[in-house]
Amino acid sequence: LLQPNVYPGNCWAFQGHQGQVVIRLPARVYLTAITVQHITKDVSPSGTIISAPKDMAVFGVDADKGETLLGMFSYNVEKDPVQTFPLKNMLLPRAFSQVKLLVKSNWGNPWYTCIYRVKVHGKMEEQ
């Protein structure tokens, strides 16, 4: 997730097609979007990217109030490898100290799922 490059195989991999990661933010942030990146078929040694995440959910996490669902979306392997998804925090503007990415499925790999990069977008809460 925080790798300096996106070379094939240099990813955050987890077993199976479901997994989650919680990212601690450097400050409380009003979250607006999340970007997920995977490699393309062209650079994949196998010529496929079935290990890419498919259906995902994003939650804002706060120690006091727990988790708040901010959006559900699907990564499309036929589109650009860097995909940004707007979050629903605009309806309930609240700053969060952590963000949780829940991967519900991938594009068909039964053994593992890979995510090459995740970027969190938003505005830091003023101190």
Question: Which CATH number fits the domain that encloses residue 109?
Answer: 2.60.120.260
For residue 1, being part of any structural domain is answered with no
Residue-wise pLDDT for 86-109, tens only, equals 998 666 678 999 999 999 999 999
Which range of residues forms the domain containing residue 24?
12-124
pTM score over 0.95? no
Count of alpha carbons within 13 angstroms of residue 121, beta-carbon side: 12
Nearest to residue 51, comparing CAs of 63, 65, 41? 41
For residue 101, being part of any structural domain is answered with yes
For residue 102, being part of any structural domain is answered with yes
Number of domains in the chain: 1
For residue 86, being part of any structural domain is answered with yes
- What pLDDT, on the 0 to 100 scale, is given for residue 79? 95
What's the pLDDT band for 64 if we cut at 50, 70, 90? confident
For residue 2, being part of any structural domain is answered with no
For residue 4, being part of any structural domain is answered with no
DSSP state of 89: G
Asked whether residue 115 carries a pLDDT value surpassing 80, the answer given is yes
For residue 56, being part of any structural domain is answered with yes
For residue 114, being part of any structural domain is answered with yes
Residue-wise pLDDT for 6-46, tens only, equals 667 778 889 999 999 999 999 999 999 999 999 888 888 88
